[in-house]
Amino acid sequence: MARLFGTDGVRGTANKDITAELALDLSVAAAHVLAEVGEFNGHRPVAVVGRDPRASGEFLAAATGAGLASAGVDVRDAGVLPTPAIAYLVAQQGADLGAMLSASHNPMPDNGIKFFARGGQKLADDLEDRIEARLREDWQRPLGRDVGRIQPMPDGADRYVEHLLSVLPHRLDGLHIVLDTAHGAASAVAPRVFAEAGARVTQIGGSPDGLNINDDYGSTHVEHLQEAVVELGADLGLAFDGDADRCLAVDATGALVDGDQIMAILALAMKERGVLRGDTLVATVMSNLGMVQALEAAGITVVQTGVGDRYVLEAMKAGGYALGGEQSGHVVLLDHATTGDGELTGLMLASRVAETGRSLADLASVMKHFPQVLINVKDVDKAALDANERVAEAVRLAEAELGERGRVLLRKSGTEPVVRVMVEAEDGDEASLVAARLVDVVKAELALQPTAAALD
């Protein structure tokens, strides 16, 4: 059977894949596993639970709280807040675990549940596996005074806003910023924190009704934000996803500023302030070569990992680094957050604009975007990719042809019979030609063989 936990918790269609029964069972199992590994240390445990505004989050959060309370955990219900806010509150409150109901940038019918351990840390793979193995087991239920209590946590947003403002290196006075909150979890918090930081704020995508989260707004649909920034003559715009763990930006001309450009700007700012530990940024192999070259020219090392914020975070912790992230806008500032935080990222970016007096477009020009061509080659034997010498030789020839003017990356999909071919080059036409040749080789060498049944 496929593993229930993915790279970011358990996710699927609400009330089909992600049911109230599953949320309750997962919560009970999580409480049992964390108790066994000593997270509770013999005391009465406390959990912080939050959700994004999607309608299904209402019954799923109730089921999650019920499961935890039935296992003897006292629950603090923080209501609708961004994912990084729940992670922060788990640490700030000294809670033993946290749970967030959200499907991030996914459409409204989806939902998911992710758990945080003490300190607001993501659960390790082995703990998730143990939780999955304990689902629906027989267990001795606490009785009387030992059952958990569920209480609201009305000051959760206040605590999170206070934290964000406390780490801001420079106020935002004089900036006009448009915020696209995706009708999501940032809708109430983001305008408040940016205004209190000194900015003049215009909000779009800020009317969540439980059904419209990520619907044509947010970091996956930046067109409205681009139009609003230009029409209003704003200094910049920021787009968050449904649970506000990602942030993309738009400069005053309406041009998109992606996660690579944001990380380049923040890395240079942090190096200047002496807080970029090891003068190193952690990014994935999908980050643009232009970012890597620009930062290396500035004396900053770029450590690259596999695709996924989990791998970025692991490398950051292993190396003791302070900054990492993905091209998608999922940026981790480990001195101030345990996970990607879109509002924190946006504040730091806007702070740099205010501090330097330079436009966002000017700051982003530190790196040149190399054109990227990404082609998904479907219906191939991805397992044979690494051992196929003809594919390897084609890659070597392509790399020799591009030299320092580009790069090649072939990687297997984690869930589909797909090989992803990515080519970067200074010239977009050259990248397309090289990618097309590689795709032809992959198709020829890794074509799935027909089964005996099909031949019959």
Sheet holding 372-378, edge to edge: 372-378, 418-425, 406-412
SS3 state of residue 35: helix
Whether residue 104 lies in the annotated active site: yes
Rounded distance, CA 421 to CA 438, Å?
7
Burial of 456 (C-beta count, 10 Å sphere; 0-12/13-18/19+): exposed
Catalytic option among 104, 219, 287, 328: 104
Q: Left, alpha or beta for 10 (phi > 0: left; psi -120 to 50: alpha)? A: beta
Rounded distance, CA 360 to CA 172, Å?
13
392's CB contacts (< 8 A; 6+ apart) are none
DSSP 156-225: HHHHHHHHHHHT-SS--TT-EEEEE-TTSTTTTHHHHHHHHTT-EEEEES----SS-TTSS-STT--HHH
Q: Output the CA angle 153-157-158, nearest 5 degrees.
A: 100
Q: Report how far apart, in Å, the C-alpha atoms of 259 and of each of 8, 247, 330, 418 are.
A: 19, 8, 7, 25
Rounded distance, CA 16 to CA 409, Å?
36
Rounded distance, CA 348 to CA 174, Å?
15
Active site members = 104
